[in-house]
Amino acid sequence: MIKAQPIHGVSDYEESCGAKGQVQMKKVLVIGYVWPEPNSSAAGSHMLSILRAYTDQGWQVEFASPAQPTEHMIDLSEEGIVSRKIVLNCDSFDAYVMDYQPDIVMFDRFMMEEQFGWRVEEICPQAVRILDTEDLQFLRRARHQAVKAGREMTTADLFCDLAKREIAAILRCDLSLIISSYEWELLIDIFKVDASLLYHLPFMVALQTCPLKTRGFMARKHFMTIGNFRHAPNWDMVLSLQTLWPAIKKQLPEAECHIYGAYPPPKATALHNENTGFLIKGWAENVFTTMEQYRLCLAPIRFGAGIKGKLLDAMIMQTPSVTTRLGCEGMYQDEPWPGEIVDDFTEFASVAVNLYQNEVAWKQAQQDGNALLHARYDGEVLAAGLIDKIMHVIEGLPQLRLNNFTGAMLRHHSMKSTKYMSQWIAAKNSDKNPNVK
With respect to residue 305, please indicate whether it lies within any of the assigned structural domains: yes
On whether both 159 and 288 belong to a single domain, the answer is no
Range of the domain at 239: 207-377
| CB-based contact 356:296 (threshold 8 Å) | yes
- 298 in Cβ contact with 224 (< 8 Å): yes
Does the residue 36 lie in any domain? Answer: yes
Considering the domain architecture, whether residues 20 and 167 belong to the same structural domain is answered as yes
Q: Does residue 437 sit within a domain?
A: no
Let me know: does 322 contact 348? Beta carbons within 8 Å: yes
Question: In angstroms, rounded to a whole number, what is the distance separating the alpha carbons of residues 79 and 366?
Answer: 32
CB of 314 closer than 8 Å to CB of 320: yes
| 223 and 290 housed in the same domain | yes
State whether 364 and 390 are in the same domain.
Answer: no
Residue 419: per-residue pLDDT: 82
pLDDT digits (tens, 9 = 90+) for 152-163: 999 999 999 999
Residue among 185, 50, 181 at smallest CA distance from 107: 50
The verdict on 84 and 224 lying in the same domain is no
| 179 and 53 within one domain | yes
Residue 163 lies in a domain: yes
Q: How far is CA 213 from CA 201, 318, 333, 360, in A?
A: 27, 8, 25, 16
Quick one: 256 and 304 in the same domain? Answer: yes
Residue 78, Cβ density class (10 Å: 0-12 exposed, 13-18 middle, ≥19 buried): exposed
Q: What pLDDT, on a 0 to 100 scale, did the predictor assign at position 434? A: 59
In this structure, are 336 and 227 located in the same domain?
yes
Q: Is residue 114 part of a domain?
A: yes
Contact 18, 56 (CB under 8 A): yes
Q: Are residues 363 and 334 in the same domain?
A: yes
Query: Any idea what the CATH number is for the domain that residue 94 is in?
Result: 3.40.50.2000
pLDDT tens digits, one per residue of 95-113: 999 999 999 999 999 999 9
Q: What is the mean pLDDT of each run of 10 residues along the chain (437 residues)?
A: 37 37 83 93 93 97 96 94 96 96 98 96 97 96 96 95 96 98 97 97 96 97 95 95 97 97 93 97 93 97 96 97 97 96 95 98 98 97 98 97 94 77 83 62
Judgement on whether residues 414 and 344 belong to the same structural domain of the protein: no
Q: Are the beta carbons of 229 and 211 closer than 8 angstroms?
A: no
* Bridge-based pairing state of the strands 321-323 and 198-200: unpaired
Number of domains in the chain: 2
- Distance, in Å, from the CA atom of 222 to the CA atom of 319, rounded to the nearest integer, reads 11
Q: Is residue 181 located within the same domain as residue 99?
A: yes
Residues 6+ away with beta carbon under 8 Å from 62: 27, 28, 29, 30, 81, 82, 83, 84, 100, 102
119 with 75, same domain: the answer is yes
Distance of CA 373 to the CA centre of its chain: 18
